[in-house]
Amino acid sequence: MKLITTIIRPEKLADVKAALFRAGVTGISLSRVQGHGGEHDTVEQYRGTTLVFEFVEKVRIDIAVSEPFVEATIAAILAGARTNEVGDGKIFVQALERVIRIRTGEQDVLALTPVSAEEVQARAIRVAKEDPS
């Protein structure tokens, strides 16, 4: 089991989410964060004052997955988030020691994967055919 944490551009969230759902990864948590990486500071003038914006708005996505989903999850994030420009983000992969679903008490892999990847992918394909936008 792995915890995959990714930091991406906010405008790429919809693309990443769609790519994850197509890959059969549906359990995600997200939060808005600010960070500083390879981007240059933004300098703006506001009412005669120079403002330096050192931190950039980003989205953090946390995904706990079983081993069979690790590479598919990484590939989906890369496909959805990449713009080939500085500031696309990072992916961090960490081992998970234990996972417990609070509602049922299920543990580890049973707590991570509520349905099979094939079922989720088939559902995503059906929805895409019904609503191609």
> So what's the architecture of 2-130 in CATH?
2-Layer Sandwich (3.30)
- pTM, to two decimals: 0.76
Q: Which of 35-44, 80-89, 96-105, 119-128 has the lowest mean pLDDT?
A: 119-128
Q: Which of 28-32, 52-56, 87-91 has the lowest mean pLDDT?
A: 52-56
First to last CA, the chain: 34
